[in-house]
Structure 1
Amino acid sequence: MSNPSVILNKVGEIVLKDRPIPEIKDEHYVKIAIRKTGICGSDVHYYTHGSIGSFEVKSPMVLGHESSGEVVEIGKAVTRVKVGDRVAIEPGIPSRYSEEYKEGRYNLCPHMAFAATPPYDGTLARYYLAPEDFLVKLPDHVSYEEGALVEPLSVGVHAAKLANIRFNSKVAVFGAGPVGLLSAAVAKAFGATQVLVIDIFEEKLKTAKEIGATHTFNSLKTKDFKKDIIELLGGQPNVIIEASGAEIAVKNGIDIVKAGGVFVQVGMGKDEINFPLAKVTEKELTLKGNFRYSHGDYQDSVDLLDLGLVNVKLIVSHRYDFNDAAQAFENIVKNGKDVVKTIIDGPK
């Protein structure tokens, strides 16, 4: 049996190559046959630029980290899953000895081994190894495609927890990309009674309404942003989730949030921007960064799917066969504004 893999050979060049079938060497690890994988913005950025911050692709790397699959082999000490189980794969493994891991904030571990982040290979292959405690079993009625989308959904869950979203929260989400849309859906599921999604593309705003937003707003169609938002909502939101990374969105979010509110930065943008610091002080805002997800977020995401509280299938705009993975990336680069989430099948 071979192990075909989608490999970033160099910037702008993706190839399909056979890699050695991974062998279980740690008795707590599991071998998974990958069934579905979503393409993340970071995968595309490595494809187009070869690096993200200090992480640089210096040798061929298997792409992908939003995956689900079937357990096909388990280590001798594994008790949490069995062969045949369908699982969502949490793709970042921290050091078991770091302070961050002990504190329950393992997403901040400086020694994190994260799939498709140099120098670690990703999940776009026939087989992938993961420790048993970083797998979450999928209920029978939750598909592999939904299981792959647990990864970006978990980012939205983590943001909602950081923002302390609960019943009667009023939330504004900037950016209707996959994470923004899912953050809006999670906010609604967590009890927010007003969920506003702000973007510049009407089709994405339409999807926002379908996935749970109570209000949408095209920021290109305004001359007085704050006034229009207050009129639309009947007041100011007390939570901002900024999922675009755009400087203007950060400024607008700080401007419209209610005094004493919470601003969570999820989107990645420029390293440095002009920032309205005085307003943060005057409003006594709580400002938080959001980095991936941590303990319990993956399980909570699967539970949201299990209960039917979030419909992640609404964000899937494109689907490709494994052998057409290179075309999938090319399509995102050429037609990005028309792409929300692309799913790639596992090898047949």
Structure 2
Amino acid sequence: MTLLNPSVVLNKIDEIVIEDRPVPKIEDPHYVKIAIKKTGICGSDVHYYVHGCCGSFVVTAPMVLGHESAGEVVEVGSAVKTLKVGDRVACEPGIPSRYSAEYKSGNYNLDPDMAFAATPPYDGTLCRYYLLPEDYCVKLPDHVTLEEGALVEPLSVGVHSCRLADVKFGDKLVVFGAGPVGLLVAAVGKAFGATDVLIVDIVEDKLQFAKKLGVATHIYNSSGDRGKSLTETKELHKAAFGDQLATVAIEATGNEYCIASALHLLAPKGRYVQVGMGKENLGLFPMGIVGEKELTIKGCFRYSVGDYETAVGLIASGKVQVKELVTHRFKFEQAIEAYEVVKSGKAIKAIIDGPE
């Protein structure tokens, strides 16, 4: 039997199936129906697959996976003005309440009632057809591929974090973590004008990949710092910037040792942004230097107003290259295999095609 809306569904921990779901119908005239063509696998997807949760979000019922997607508009609501059938779009996957204080203040990503794809209890985008409001679809220029469009989602996290950190020309930026998000943070920081970008990780292959991509001017393998004092690691890290401290630190691992090291690496009046999800309570946090240096510390949660548009612009202009991040590609029917590959740590970024 031909499936009308095949969908990749997480039934429970370690159990993913492909099953038919109802074809969604446009009920709100401002919505469009999108045929999903490319979807990236995010670390949060793997958390749900392996642990059944990601942070405070817990899977309690079968859920369609995926939220890093791009596709083609196949139907538009009667009130849609900015899109037409055939348009290629990057899909911003979180819809806030239009009546929330967070939405009205321009911080819709912080809306506690956000309906975010593949975040319980909401289904994700790994299916044939998906609905979105027209203003949460960003049209892709003709020369930007749908695969690049799928990577707009994680790139928008990089944009949002660098905006929060006010990265600008002349900054010395240190990024902890050379996974997809860390690499994209570094790429955006460089595009925003940071003249020196240091990426810190414990996996040498990832660091060499970052160097090859050209997103890092400096790399540092911190695996040898285990057991050393923060003062010793600070001296080692400082050597990468010619004995100068960083003006901006963006942490993309959630590891408490990385967090502490990043704060030590900052110069007075330095700016720090936390992107990686870690433990709720940290046993190791150098609060003393936060006051002594008058550091600015901010959290980062997804992305907000204008971040998706900026991400598309960075790709379209060639200021950020995302194609090289894709190391594995899978057909839709290979989705289960794709999750196993990402779970094993073999992929930087894996992309799943939409159903044929």
Q: TM-score, normalised by structure 1?
A: 0.98
Q: Tell me what 2:157 maps to.
A: 155
1:298 equivalent in alignment to 2:308? yes
Opposite residue 171 of structure 2, the aligned amino acid is S
Q: How does 1:71-150 map to 2 (within 5 A)?
A: 71-150=73-152
Aligned to 1:147, the other structure's residue is in SS state helix
Q: 1:103 to 1:249 in 2, by over 3 A?
A: same
User: More displaced, 313-322 or 99-108?
Assistant: 313-322
Gaps of 5+ in 1: none
Aligned to 1:78, the other structure's residue is in SS state coil
Q: Tell me what 1:233 maps to.
A: 241
Q: How does 1:1-348 map to 2 (within 5 A)?
A: 2-209=4-211, 210-222=213-225, 224-234=232-242, 235-274=244-283, 275-333=285-343, 335-336=344-345, 338-348=346-356
Aligned to 1:191, the other structure's residue is in SS state coil
Gaps of 5+ in 2: none
Tell me if the contact between 2:202 and 2:223 (Cα under 8 Å) persists in the aligned partners. Answer: yes
Tell me if the contact between 1:237 and 1:257 (Cα under 8 Å) persists in the aligned partners. Answer: yes
Count matched residues.
Answer: 346
Opposite residue 72 of structure 2, the aligned amino acid is E
Aligned to 1:145, the other structure's residue is in SS state helix
Deviation for aligned residue 1:340? 1.2
Aligned to 1:238, the other structure's residue is in SS state strand
Deviation for aligned residue 1:332? 2.0
Tell me if the contact between 2:219 and 2:240 (Cα under 8 Å) persists in the aligned partners. Answer: no
Aligned to 1:328, the other structure's residue is in SS state helix
Q: Distance in 2 between matches of 1:317 and 1:255?
A: 34
Tell me if the contact between 2:198 and 2:240 (Cα under 8 Å) persists in the aligned partners. Answer: no
Q: Distance in 2 between matches of 1:143 and 1:52?
A: 30
Deviations 1:1-29 (A, max 9, x none): 71000000111100000111100000000
Tell me if the contact between 2:55 and 2:277 (Cα under 8 Å) persists in the aligned partners. Answer: no
Opposite residue 266 of structure 2, the aligned amino acid is V
Q: Distance in 2 between matches of 1:14 and 1:108?
A: 30
Q: Structure 1 vs Structure 2: percent identity of aligned residues?
A: 62
Q: Distance in 2 between matches of 1:192 and 1:58?
A: 43
Deviation for aligned residue 1:208? 1.3
Aligned to 1:261, the other structure's residue is in SS state strand
Tell me if the contact between 1:153 and 1:179 (Cα under 8 Å) persists in the aligned partners. Answer: yes
Aligned to 1:88, the other structure's residue is in SS state strand
Q: TM-score, normalised by structure 2?
A: 0.96
Q: Distance in 2 between matches of 1:89 and 1:240?
A: 29
Tell me if the contact between 1:174 and 1:244 (Cα under 8 Å) persists in the aligned partners. Answer: yes
